Chain A
Amino acid sequence: MARPPIHWRSDRRPTITGRDPTLAGRGTSREATAFPRRLWRALERHPPPGALAIGRRWRSPLRGPWLTSVFGLVLLIGLPLVIITGLLDYAAYGPQFGQALPRNVGWLRLPPFEWPTRPAWLFRVSQGLHVILGIVLIPVVLAKLWSVIPKLFAWPPARSAAQLLERLSLLLLVGGILFQIATGLLNTQYAYLFGFDFYTAHYFGAWVFTAAFVTHVALKLPRMISALRSRPFRTEFRRGAAVTGPEPPDPDGLVAPRPGPATVSRRGALTLVGGLSLLLGGLTVGQTMDGPLRRTALLMPRGRQPGTGPNGFPVNRSAAAAGVTEERTGPGWRLTLTAAGRTVTLDRQQLLALPQHTATLPIACVEGWSTSQTWTGVRLRDLAALAGAGQPASALVRSLERTGLFNQAQLQSNQILDRDSLLALKVNGTDLALDHGYPARIIVPALPGVHCTKWVATIDFRDTAGG
């Protein structure tokens, strides 16, 4: 190593006179010169009891712009992926049919486009990524918050209107990410403790967070870049705890004024956060896998294989919960196809007598879990032709299930006409189990699981895409 050992006990204090040119325009000037000056000065001079004492109690020598920026960089790369996959999830539900939840989102959505059927793993990967990455980033979010927490207790909270607005947007940023994490985690684990509609809250919470995130990045990006450049990553990673000292005092007030000794190096702290992320990832990723690896999602609901045999894969909404009984799915069951005034009725034997097609397709759910199975049944495009609808613009599929948010789903033209889009009668060579949608269920490539309607009763092929 060419570098001399770093002597970190620095007595240097930044000389901040007036507006630091590097901070111009970022609302971080230390002097209360903004309007109304008297108010900001008065605020500064009258701290509540204990406020200044807290400021002197920060001890960790690790806190500083560099460490905060490393966490910031990881989140800057990771969170946009979570945001985009979340918005894609919404688009996958067919908002043009009014069946993406929440319904009235105004202009807060991606531009409309037809959700593709290819690649067939599209929804499995995008939604799996949304949930897994969201969980994996939790330790980074918490570490980032730990690294900036002195600012929360700093007095005065603001020295100008600019700082006040920035504080407010930080509340939206922090409240937003924690709200998204909490509601997301509770939804993936089926514990709706919050008592409000998950879709509405998680969707609009995401927009509040995203707006605050964009604001934060716009204001802090230059600061992050300069902080990351202040100490080369490689050098920092060679430094053990014994030679880990504080960063030079910073105008943001992240560096402790009276730091204690380091009990862990920055390398150690980053490794710890990365390790915790890997641990959470390792305990979650199993919910997207089939076979024995599913069990590795030890603490997630979908870490359990519900049974063995051809129907032994996870169920989403049981027949009992849907109110679908065996008498309604027995020999009396009929499938009704309608198109432009024509009606065709088929029983299960007649469906089995039609040309059968087999495809291995994933079922993926909004909670991020998925499974891949081999389905056999009648192509939806063959059923459309049978009903006299050659090139339907859409199809409304209704289930035997009478109530429930997903007892019907509208399919796009490409979702009807795909070569692997099926009204499945069998899975893995045997009849579907009742919980998997017997006597017949929809299976369409890249379509969210809840729109692969189970216990299908009617399919109405339409010439228009309208709902």
Chain B
Amino acid sequence: MAESPGRLSTGYGAGPLHLVVTVGGLAVAGWVALRLAGEPNAGRILVWFVGAAIAHDLVLFPLYAGTDAGLRRLLRATTATPAPGRVRILNHIRVPALAAGLTFLVYLPGILGLGKVTYQAATGQHRRQLLGDWLVLVAVLFAASGLAYAVRAARRTRRRT
């Protein structure tokens, strides 16, 4: 990278290496875009590509961040430390809830039983909806977290008395 900002650096806003690296990366994407332009459903690929970023940034993130903010308000967990002698329940809800949300997203086709025809052709079996299995998993996660909370709370009480 340039030791003293030359004309390129001042005008462009970064050193020449920055320009080479970014343009190089974008060139690969450009080549791929040209290669895919003739594919059937090229438009759909583009929609899914850009849509994935938008869905994360403008749907998934606000959704989970908003849910978390709501949960904190509900539990009045707005201070760093809980009231003395108390164990805060916030993270005991957050953790299993996050695990539930994540497993739901990752294993969504199985949980909702999507793609029945391709599933049957590939595996030779009927697709069974796994919603029940997932709910059991979620229940186990919440139960384990609740148990950990109960143990911590009991210990804290014993320590106080």
Contact = CB atoms under 8 A, between A and B. Distances in A.
Which of A34, A208, A219 is the most central at the interface, judged by chain B CB atoms within 10 Å of its CB? A208
A194 to B, nearest CB: 5
Contacts of A260: 78
B110 A261 contact: no
Interface string B1-30: 110010001111111011101111111110
Contacts of B56: 142, 145, 174, 178
A165 B134 CA distance: 43
A306 B107 contact: no
Contact of B119 (A152, A190, A283, A306): A190
Interface stretch (A19-27, A346-354, A372-380, A420-428): A19-27
Contacts of A300: 107, 110
Interface in A187-230: 189-197, 200-201, 204-205, 207-208, 210-212, 214-215, 218-219
B65 to A, nearest CB: 8
A284 to B, nearest CB: 9
Contacts of A33: 10, 13
A388 B8 CA distance: 69
A211 B123 contact: no
Interface in B85-111: 88, 90-91, 94-95, 98-99, 102-103, 106-111
B39 A283 contact: no
Contacts of B57: 145, 149, 152, 174
B79 interface: yes
A34 B5 contact: no
Given A179-B52, A201-B45, A280-B102, A215 B133 contact: no
Contacts of B21: 214-215, 218-219
A380 to B, nearest CB: 26
Interface residues of A, number: 94
A266 interface: no
A34 B13 contact: yes
A182 B134 CA distance: 19
Contacts of B78: 260-261
A139 interface: yes
Contacts of B40: 196-197
A316 B118 CA distance: 11
Q: Mostly helix, strand, loop or mixed at chain A's interface?
A: helix
Nearest to B124: A318
Nearest to A194: B48
Nearest to A33: B10
Interface in A90-138: 104, 106, 108, 135, 138
B83 interface: no
B22 A196 contact: no
B99 A25 contact: no
Nearest to B22: A165
A26 B13 CA distance: 8
B35 interface: yes
Contacts of B61: 145-146, 149
Given A25-B15, A283-B107, A263 B91 contact: yes
B82 to A, nearest CB: 9
B36 interface: yes
A185 to B, nearest CB: 6
Given A200-B39, A261-B79, A301-B119, A268 B91 contact: yes
Contacts of B111: 299
B95 to A, nearest CB: 6
Contacts of B41: 195-197
B36 A204 contact: yes
A142 B78 CA distance: 24
Nearest to B91: A264
Given A190-B122, A280-B103, A317-B122, A211 B28 contact: yes
A205 B21 CA distance: 19
A171 interface: yes
A135 B13 contact: no
Given A161-B12, A283-B103, A205 B5 contact: no
Nearest to B17: A25
Interface of B: 1-2, 5, 9-15, 17-19, 21-29, 31-32, 35-36, 39-42, 44-45, 48-50, 52-53, 55-57, 61, 72, 77-81, 88, 90-91, 94-95, 98-99, 102-103, 106-111, 114-115, 118-125, 127-128, 130, 133-134, 137
11 contacts: A145-B57, A181-B52, A182-B48, A186-B109, A191-B108, A191-B114, A191-B119, A200-B39, A205-B45, A262-B80, A304-B125
